Amino acid sequence: MMVKKEPGSCKYGSRLDGSPCWSLTDSPATDYLKLSSSQAKRTKKELVHSEDLRTRGGTKLGRAGIGMIRAYPMRRVDGHKKVTSPAATMITGCRGSTMLQPTTSFVSSMPDPFPQELVDRIIDEVQHVYPDETHCKAIWKACSSVCRSWRTRAMHHLVRSFSLDLSDTRRNTTIKGIQALHRFIKFEAPPKFPASFVTRVCIRCIYKFKIVQEVMCSLHLYPNLRELNLHGVHFSDFSRSKIKTLSKALDSRFPLPPLDRLELDCISFIDFEHLLSFIGMSHFSALSALKMYSIEYKGNPDGDWSECVSVKHDPQFGGPSFATSLSLREGYQNTGPPFTEIIGVLGKSITELELEIYNEQHFDFDFDPNLYPSLRRLSLTFGRLSLSVLTLFGRLTDLKALTHFSFGVDPLLYWIGKPDARNKVIEGLDHALTPISRMPSIQEIVVPKLPGASESLIESRKTGLLVEEDWDDQIGRLFKQ
């Protein structure tokens, strides 16, 4: 189906990309564009059967010529001036042939029916509905193509985390060989657009100090970086002076963004002072959250220290910052596992504390409530039940600011042990939790649904603050952490 150019009926113009287009000028379709949307719907059928449209400029289109008329965004041509019209008409034949094509997209001035905060919240909830990371990324990718207001938040989730894994470079890989890796080059020279969305960086398995220094000096390329995760970095293989060398390199040329959270996973240091010299660098002065898992000291005679400790500081509850507590650590002496040492130094700054203790030798660690005057949330997870756990509960009543307490047991290790000893602990659990449930400041106590424990929790349940958590929920919470 063809339309000839006739004087006075159509003018020949061009699209933005330079390709030709047709634009109606003197025809009933031009009047149709001037109608409101409601009027256009009423007159649409009349225009389809209009004789003026069937015969324009003496050229008949025939019965199959006009199937329907749709309002599409177009660019009108008025002489040599290109005028953007809010809408134009595209005539589509019954067989699908198109005579007029749109040239520009029309952005409606209608306000967004959803507030931006609601859109952001919907996109954020994807990670809670779908635990599979691959499925989440597919949904966020689709959300990023919906519209501009959806794209920013979706892109935040898609590229917010960057991981550099060098676990395969431990043997027979030179420094130049590592620097030539594609993933290493990608980390050191990120495009500005995705780099601005990155808020979390995970560095895994670096075995050479020069690479550690080079990676740390590249973090300034991510201006919105707030979380840093170091996994499998053996600082114990480097001398104490290397930490000072790293700090000077960062101070002089490549200052880090203000980090909020630092995670140390399977990291080894020479000793506790070596650990504090790293955490105490000026680049970590803005930290409000610190998580450590399986920290080792060189030549550790006590074996595996696989405990996990997570501490947070909320400035609204007062207390010194982590940086201030670290600077005032002079005179502190402790020869216990790393988790007891770090909470001892940062005690006055801690408002939230989470401990996962799997070594039964550490169940009765020295917990002095007077060291944590600002502690409001406490979560304790043990590998097994023992009487030393109940003894520890007796000290918690001295935490005058405590509002939330959570107690958990590793579901995989719970059944390992003597049944008689386990049952004896369950019988004494109610007696240990009752004083905590009667504390004036306490608002909620979360305990696992242990077999046989629900029937024995009588007195501690009377306050109405006791909440029993399914083991499936507890497992999910531990893996999420």
Band of residue 476 on the pLDDT scale cut at 50, 70, 90: low
389 and 448 in contact (C-beta within 8 Å)? no
Residue with the larger pLDDT of the pair 469 and 53: 469
- φ, ψ dihedrals at 189, nearest 5°: -135, 65
Mean pLDDT of 194-214: 89
Is the pLDDT at 311 greater than 90? The verdict is yes
Could you write out the DSSP letters of every residue in 357-424?
E--GGGTT----GGG-TT--EEEEEESS--HHHHHHHTTGGG-TT--EEEEEE-TTTTTSS-HHHHHH
pLDDT tens digits for range 74-84: 444 444 444 44
Sign, CA dihedral 53-58-64-70, equals negative
How many other CB atoms are found less than 10 A from the CB of residue 38? Answer: 7
Give 114's pLDDT tier (boundaries 50, 70, 90): confident
Q: What is the pLDDT of residues 25-44, one digit of tens each?
A: 333 333 433 444 444 444 44
Lookup: tokens for 69: 């008329």
Per-residue pLDDT, averaged over 272-291, amounts to 90
CB-based contact 23:83 (threshold 8 Å): no
pLDDT score of 359 more than 80: no
The contacts of residue 379 (CB under 8 Å, 6+ apart) are 353, 354, 355, 405, 406, 407, 408
Q: Mean pLDDT, to the nearest integer, of 395-414?
A: 85
Q: Hey, where are the domains in the chain?
A: 10-92
Give long-range contacts, CB 8 A cutoff, 24+ apart: 48-51. Answer: none
274: which residues sit within 8 A by CB, 6+ positions away? 235, 236, 240, 243
What gap in Å lies between CA 339 and CA 310, rounded to an integer?
9
Q: What is the pLDDT of residue 373?
A: 92
CA pair distance 58, 267, nearest whole angstrom: 85
pTM of the model: 0.69
Of 421 and 367, which is predicted with more confidence? 367
The average pLDDT across 60-83 equals 40
Distance of alpha carbon 119 from the chain centroid: 16
- Average pLDDT, integer, range 73-102: 42
Is the model's pLDDT at 195 over the cut of 70?
Answer: yes
Residue 423 CA to residue 407 CA, distance in Å, equals 17
287 closest CA partner among 346, 222, 354, 202: 346
Token pair, residue 135, equals 């499925």
